[in-house]
C-alpha cells in the first residue's frame, strides 16, 4: 500500500486500533505490518488465514468495510493484494538440505 506521506500517522492509528480485532477474527492466524526499507510510505500487511474462505469472510465483514473506508482515502496509489499458498515449506526445505 502506497500512502501519501502525511497519511502515515493516520493510517498507523487506524491499523493499531483495527489490528487486534483483525487478529481475533475467525480464521486469522497471524498479522503483521511491514514497511519498505527504501520508501517509508509503502507498507504491506502480511497475514496468515486458515483458508481462502476465512479470508473472504473477513473481506465481506463489517470490520473490513469500516477499516477500508477509513484507509482508502489515505492511499497515494491503488493498493494491491496478493494471496499465496505454500509451495515448499521450511520443514521440507530443511529435510531436503539434510539429504
For residue range 32-86, list pLDDT tens digits in order.
Answer: 999 999 999 999 999 999 999 999 999 999 999 999 999 999 999 999 999 998 8
Contact 18, 63 (CB under 8 A): yes
Domains parsed from the chain with CATH numbers: 5-98 (3.30.70.100)
The model's pTM = 0.87
Q: What are phi and psi of 84, to 5 degrees?
A: -130, 155
Judge whether residue 8 has pLDDT over 90: yes
Give every CB contact of residue 83 below 8 A, 6+ residues apart in sequence: 52, 55
State the cell numbers at 22: 483483525
What local confidence, expressed as pLDDT, does residue 9 receive? Answer: 97
What is the reported pLDDT for 5?
95
pLDDT of residue 52: 94
Given a contact cutoff of 8 angstroms between Cβ atoms, the answer to whether 41 and 8 are in contact is: yes
Segment (H or E) for 54: helix 52-59
Tell me the C-alpha distance between 73 and 50, whole Å.
30
| Four-point Cα dihedral 87, 50, 79, 9, nearest 10 | -120
The whole-number pLDDT of residue 58 equals: 97
Amino acid at each position: 500500500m502506497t500512502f501519501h506521506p502525511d497519511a502515515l500517522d493516520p493510517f498507523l492509528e487506524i491499523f493499531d486500533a483495527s489490528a487486534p480485532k483483525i487478529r481475533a477474527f475467525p480464521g486469522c492466524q497471524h498479522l503483521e505490518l511491514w514497511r519498505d526499507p527504501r520508501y517509508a510510505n509503502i507498507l504491506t500487511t502480511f497475514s496468515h488465514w486458515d483458508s481462502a474462505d476465512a479470508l473472504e469472510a473477513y473481506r465481506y465483514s463489517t470490520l473490513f468495510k469500516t477499516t477500508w473506508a477509513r484507509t482508502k482515502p489515505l492511499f497515494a496509489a491503488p493498493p494491491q493484494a496478493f494471496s499465496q499458498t505454500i509451495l515448499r515449506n521450511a520443514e521440507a526445505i530443511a529435510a531436503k538440505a539434510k539429504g
